[in-house]
Amino acid sequence: MEIKKKQVNVFIGPSGSKKIECLKKYVKTRKLNIFNDQNLNKKISEIFDTKKSKVLKSLEMVGLSSIDVNKKLKDLTTNELKRLDIANEISSKKDNYIFLHPEVGLDDKNRDNLIIIFRMLKNRYHKTIIIVSSDSDWVHKFADFLFVVYNGNVVYSGTTYDVFCNDEICEKYKLCIPQIIKFEKLVLEKKNKRLGFRNEINDLIKDIYRNI
C-alpha cells in the first residue's frame, strides 16, 4: 500500500471499521485533540506556536479571519472549534497533512469550504492530503485515491471511480455508495443513458440536460 504523494488520499469505511488504527499502521500520525477540559481556558493565540501572520492566514483559510485570536476556547461554538482544529493543522506547514474526520461538526457551508482548502493545498502548494472519513457522499466530491478499511485493515484501494463504482466491494465491506453514483446507475438502467462519472451535482445536471 502506498500513499499517493501530492494527492488527496482517504481512508474510508463504515463506522467501527477502525480506520484511525489502520492509518497508524502506515502513517506516523497524531490526533489533534486540543479541546479537552484541561485547556479550554486557553486563548486561541496560545494554541499556535507560529508567528501571528501565519496564524491569521490559517484562520482566514477556514473562515475564522474575523475572530479575536485572544478569545478563549470555551467561548467558541463547536463549529468554530472544529475549524480551529483544522487551522492548527494547516499552520504547521508540513508536506503531509492529516485530517481525522474533519467534516464532523461542520455545517454544509464549512464542509464545502473545507473541500476548497484541500484542493488549494494540493493544487497550489503541492501537498499530500490524508483524510479519515466515513462519509462517502462528501469524500466522493474531492478524493483522488481511496483506501477501503474493514476490521482495521486496508482491504481494497483505488481511485474514487474504482471503489465507488464497484458494487461488489461496496456491498462486501459495507461501504455506502454516493447518491450521485446511485442516480447515474438508475439513469443507465431506466433510460439506457450513460451519464459518466461526475463528482459534482452541477456537472451531473449539465449531463442530464444534454443527454436526456
Segments making up each domain of the chain, as ranges: 8-164, 178-212
State the burial class of residue 70 (Cβ atoms within 10 Å of its Cβ: 0-12, 13-18, 19+): exposed
* 177 Cβ contact partners less than 8 Å away, ≥ 6 residues apart: 136, 164, 167, 170
- For residue 47, give the H/E element and its range: helix 44-47
Q: Cβ distance 24 to 30 under 8 Å?
A: no
pTM for this model (two decimals): 0.81
> Which of 67-81, 86-100, 177-191 has the weakest average pLDDT?
177-191
Pick the residue with more confidence: 196 or 56?
A: 56
Percent of the chain with pLDDT over 70: 77
Per-residue model confidence (pLDDT) at position 174: 94
> Which of 51-60, 74-83, 155-164, 187-196 has the weakest average pLDDT?
187-196
pLDDT band at 29 (very low <50, low <70, confident <90, very high): low
Per-residue model confidence as pLDDT tens digits over 32-90: 555 554 556 677 777 776 556 667 788 888 888 878 777 888 888 888 888 888 888 88
Checking if the pLDDT of 209 tops 80, the result is no
Pick the residue with more confidence: 132 or 89?
A: 132
CATH topology assigned to domain 8-164 = Rossmann fold (3.40.50)
Mean pLDDT of the chain: 82
Per-residue model confidence (pLDDT) at position 210: 58
- For residue 148, give the H/E element and its range: strand 145-150
